[in-house]
Amino acid sequence: MRNLLIAALCLVVAPCARADEQPVMLKDAPGHDIVEGFCGACHSLDYIQMNSPFPPAALWDAEVKKMINAFGAPITPADAKTITEYLVKNYGS
């Protein structure tokens, strides 16, 4: 009975606790779908927009390599190149 009350309370309170945040919309450009698919699978896409001021190409390249080498992101070399090019062109300095 106690578990049922807790579950009911969660159903009532949860919608009230939801933030009115808008989904992150990355720039629509070649590579957009690859970036959303790989990057968004592990973390919020906010990280891309929050890097300020816009990083140079070397930093974006290092970030993509870090995701592959340190965190084990299953990204092929071709997709890594696409991701880096997208980030540099749309969120680089």
Give the domain ranges of the chain. Answer: 22-91
Positions in the chain whose pLDDT score sits under 70: 1-5, 7-21, 52
Q: Residue 83's Cα: distance from chain center in Å? A: 12
pTM: 0.75
**CATH class, range 22-91:** mainly alpha
- Give the Cα separation of 1 and 9 in Å (integer): 12
The confidence score (pLDDT) of residue 13 equals 56
- Give the Cα separation of 53 and 65 in Å (integer): 20
